[in-house]
Structure 1
Amino acid sequence: MNIELDTHTHTVASLHAYSTITENAAEAARKNLKLICMTDHGPLLPGGPHEYFFGNMRVLPKEIHGVRILKGIEANIKNTDGDLDLPKYLENRMEIVLVGLHEGVLMPGTKKENTRAVVKAMKKEFVDILVHPGNPAYELDYDDVFKAAKDTNTFIEINNSSFLGSRKGSKDNCRMIAEKCRDYKLPISLGSDAHYSTYVGEFSVVTKLLEEIQLPEELILNTSVDKLLNYLKNKGKNI
């Protein structure tokens, strides 16, 4: 499987990550990736950068070490209405917007509450990817989530980090999600969720799983930079 990009990476701006964007780009170049998305946590997560960090991303070059850099955010879903910690004036400045549930912001609720929060967030037109939905801490009605993903043209993420211990117990959920995406022909995104540079572009566990379940490559966003850029342009992103 040819992987050209990583949609989910973190820098030292997220205080529980340990590499700079330059170090991440260097690792991406070493692994022959053409693009990485810089998606640090939103400001409500403890240690997350201030909103000014995201507002000033225009100073970053489009390429570092020959790798295209998309300037984005992993925004936190902060309530069951799907509201995010991305200030309104920044919504259209982000080149890519990931959203997810994090215990440092919104504690797990009932299946109905968790599902409502996720679906409401995906209905925001500037949202592109739902991250680590396999986290067992947040029980979800996956049929409702998949329907919302299809209706809103939102990618479902299969998160490689979830298999490596960051969200214990995710393996079975992630496999089920991948199988349902295959059956429903829902496109997916692969995220390394790298918090240190050597994990950028690390998809070995995920790609093995996708090969096992025979998920078609055309459903995988990461196999083509053009596929990602065209998707974002069609959503009105200024990239």
Structure 2
Amino acid sequence: MKFVVDTHSHTVSSGHAYSTVLENAAAAAQKGLQLLCVTDHASSMPGAPHYWHFANQKVLPRFLHGVGVLRGVEANIMNTDGEIDILPKVEDNLDWILASFHEPVFAPSSREAHTQALLNVIRSGRVDALGHLGNPNFDFDFERVLVAAAEANVLIEINNSSLSGSRVGSQPRCERIAEIGKEVGVMFTTGSDAHFAYDVGKFDSALALFDKVKVDESSIVTTSASRFLAFLHRRGRSPIAEFQSLR
């Protein structure tokens, strides 16, 4: 199994990352990726860019270093109502919305509060995927959330950075999330969560987890460009003409 799409990457614009879009795209090309999602932190995260950073992503070329570039965001889950910090008018300029908990924005609370927030995010219909759910600071009812995600066609991310030590304690939780997700019919995505170009397309830990849990390749949308683009189409997003030849 090989992953050819990285759906979670940060640039220097996030305020605590260290590479440019061009540097990330060059690294993606070296790793053999077909598509790269640019997902800088939305504006509520300390140090994150102004919303115009996201509204103006239309200036990004569709291909850099031969890698297709998707215009995205890692939005912050703001509260138990499931609100995210991207204005609806900005969504029209984006191809991909990933939503995650971050401690500086949503202070860790109770299991039920986290569960309600995730369920409401899913029900909002505004997000394509939920990021780094293995974070032990944000416990939640795995089964309720994963069933809801499967029913709403929202992807569950297996975050390579979490599995590599950035969120200590994530490994067993990610394994359980993958096990339950497999049982209830979740579709998965893979994100490097790179904050430096060398980590773009790094999926070694995610691959090992999928192998251990025996998740079928057909349930992971990042195993081919066409599979990922077909998912976006099912989500109601308009086809990206420049990517139609990708397989």
After superposition, what is the alpha-carbon deviation per residue over 1:115-137, rounded to whole angstroms, capped at 9, x for unaligned? 11111111222310000111000
Q: CA deviation at 1:150?
A: 1.4
Q: Distance in 2 between matches of 1:85 and 1:206?
A: 28
Contact kept, 8 Å, 1:8 with 1:193, in 2: the verdict is yes
Structure 1 position 93, deviation (Å): 2.1
1:95-133 deviations in whole A, cap 9, x for unaligned? 000001100101011111111111111122231000011
Please state whether the residue corresponding to 1:8 is helix, strand or coil.
coil
Helix, strand or coil at the partner of 2:158: strand
SS in structure 1 at match of 2:207? helix
| Superposition deviation, residue 236 in structure 1 | 2.4
Cα distance, 1:212 vs. partner?
1.8
What does the per-residue CA deviation read over 1:62-110, in whole Å, with 9 as the maximum and x for residues that have no partner?
0000000000000001111000100121123210000011001010111
2:68 equivalent to 1:68: yes
2:226 equivalent to 1:226: yes
Task: Tell me, in whole angstroms, the C-alpha distance in 2 between the residues paired with 1:213 and 1:156.
Answer: 15
Query: What RMSD, in angstroms, separates the aligned Cα atoms of the two structures?
Result: 1.0
Q: Which amino acid aligns with 1:202?
A: K
Name stretches of at least 5 consecutive residues in structure 1 with no aligned partner: none
Report Cα offsets for 1:176-219 as digits up to 9, x if no partner: 11111222231111110000001001010110121122111101
Contact 1:100 1:118 in 2 (8 A): no
> Where does residue 82 of structure 2 map in the other structure?
82
Deviations 1:38-79 (A, max 9, x none): 000000000111001001101110000000000000000111
SS at match of 2:138: coil
Moved more, 85-94 or 18-27: 85-94
Task: Pick which of 45-54 and 205-214 moved more.
Answer: 205-214
Change in Cα spacing, 1:125 to 1:92, as seen in structure 2 (3 Å) is farther
User: Which structure has the highest helix share of the two?
Assistant: 2
Question: Residue 147 of structure 2 contacts residue 184 of structure 2 at CA under 8 Å; is this kept in 1?
Answer: no
Q: Percent identity?
A: 43
Q: Does the aligned pair in 2 maintain the 1:92–1:237 contact within 8 Å?
A: no
Matched with 2:203 is: 203
Contact 2:5 2:223 in 1 (8 A): yes
Matches within 5 A, 1:38-53: 38-53=38-53
Q: What's the TM-score once normalised by structure 2's chain length?
A: 0.94
- Contact 2:75/2:98 (<8 A) preserved: yes
Distance 1:168 1:2 in 2: 26
Count of paired positions: 239
Give 1:178's aligned amino acid: A
Deviation at 1:153, TM superposition (A): 0.6
| TM-score normalised according to structure 1 size | 0.97
The residue matched to 2:107 in structure 1 has which SS? coil
1:1-239 aligned at under 5 Å gives the runs 1-238=1-238, 239=240
**Consecutive unaligned residues in structure 2, runs of 5 or more:** 241-247
